[in-house]
Amino acid sequence: MIRAAILGASGYAGNELIRLGLRHGGIEFVALNSENHAGEPVSNVVPEAPRELRFTNRPVGELNADRCDVVFCAMPAGFALETAPRLTSRVIDLSADFRADENVPYGLPELFRAALPRARIVANPGCYATAAILSAWPLVRHELAGSLIFDGKSGYSGAGRAPAYVNDPVHFTDNTIAYKLTQHRHRAEIGRVLRHAVGFTPHVIPTFRGILMTTHCLLRTVHLHDRPDTSPEKCGQQIRSLFHEVYDREPFLRFVEDRPPELHDVQGTNLCALGGFEVDETGRAVVIATLDNLVKGAAGQAIQNMNVMFGEAEGRGLTDLTPFPAGRRGP
């Protein structure tokens, strides 16, 4: 059994870590820390949890004394930067604290799997960044990407539990809210990982969970006006084949062939669904990626990283997740 603790266990990502950890079968929770809910039953917010399981608020010294194997840090920015060096366990940080640190592996297994088994700290990627990077990596890898523009739509859970304009039902109900039009922190993260200049604008939509990323890529080597023998349809087929070549063996990437991917394809799962793969007459390729921001965009990816770090089957506790029905998609 992997002895694990969660710091920030009562937040949305923390709740998902508990849900997924309980079904994993190889995790023993040593602590489920919550400053505001210590002593309360976890089942109040995670119905699957046994009634006797309660939130804790254990200090770092106790976690070290109990020989935790891994600590999941689901706290606001700045907390892990101060806390991780004091922990004797391995750390998977779900905040942005270590994502720009070249000495800390970036926890996107599809690109950086080989670095994870030796890591003491892993920087779990941002939710928008996960969708954007996976939707563009094959184009960047094969030097096809010119201008890259990402248009992201997220459920309001991405803003967390703390009250904010974008997670207030008064504002997001029957509405779509654009915010941080050019300077969202995930823009720098995406560009840093892809090593490519990018544009990114996020939006909040009136649903609880899920991200839909529309990627617009002006292809570098396709000039349709100069090559009348190359149709947009043929270029789209070539792009689709390229993505299959790169990703067909990845356990959590799924291709939607008959339509663009939707949130309903992925909500409640650790999947990233990919589709679209259309090219217009200007050489602009459009790729769609969808994922659950709380699972593949946060807790599920953290469990996936943990599995790789500790030599477990990468999909343990994750491969048999099926999309939530309508009644399970809310908070």
List, as one string, the DSSP characters of 1-59.
Answer: -EEEEEETTTSHHHHHHHHHHHHHSSEEEEEEE-TTTTTSBGGGT-TTS-TT-B-B---
Q: Are 141 and 254 members of one domain? A: yes
By DSSP bridging, strand 211-219 and strand 145-155 are antiparallel
The C-alpha atoms of residue 226 and residue 222 are separated, in whole angstroms, by 9
Which domain covers residue 277, as residue numbers? Answer: 127-291
Residue 114: the pLDDT is: 98
Lookup: tokens for 144 = 């096809």
Contact between 114 and 100 (Cβ < 8 Å)? no
Whether residue 270 sits in one domain with residue 214: yes
CATH of the domain at 36: 3.40.50.720
The number of domains in the chain is 2
Identify whether residues 147 and 273 lie together within a single domain. yes
DSSP 258: S
- Residue given tokens 């544009």 in the structure block: 199
Q: Are residues 133 and 121 in the same domain?
A: no
Position 227 scores a pLDDT of: 63
Whole-structure pTM value: 0.96
Reading the chain (331 residues) residue by residue, the pLDDT tens digits are 999 999 999 999 999 999 999 999 999 999 999 999 999 999 999 999 999 999 999 999 999 999 999 999 999 999 999 999 999 999 999 999 999 999 999 999 999 999 999 999 999 999 999 999 999 999 999 999 999 999 999 999 998 888 888 888 889 999 999 999 999 999 999 999 999 999 999 999 999 999 999 999 999 976 555 665 678 999 999 999 999 999 999 999 999 999 999 999 999 999 999 999 999 999 999 999 999 999 999 999 999 999 999 999 999 999 999 999 877 777 7
Q: What is the pLDDT of residue 162?
A: 84
Give the bridge partners for 70, in sequence order: 4, 90
The pLDDT value given to residue 229: 63
Check whether residue 22 and residue 141 sit in a common domain: no
| Domain identity same for 229 and 287 | yes
Assess contact for 76 and 95: CB atoms under 8 A: yes
> Is 127 among the residues known to form the active site?
yes
At position 179, the amino acid (one-letter code) is Y
pLDDT at residue 326 in the model: 77
Say yes or no: 102 and 134 in one domain: no
> Which of 68, 73, 127, 217 does the annotation list as catalytic?
127
The phi and psi torsions of 34 (rounded to 5 degrees) equal -150, 120
**Strands 272-279 and 284-291, sheet pairing:** antiparallel
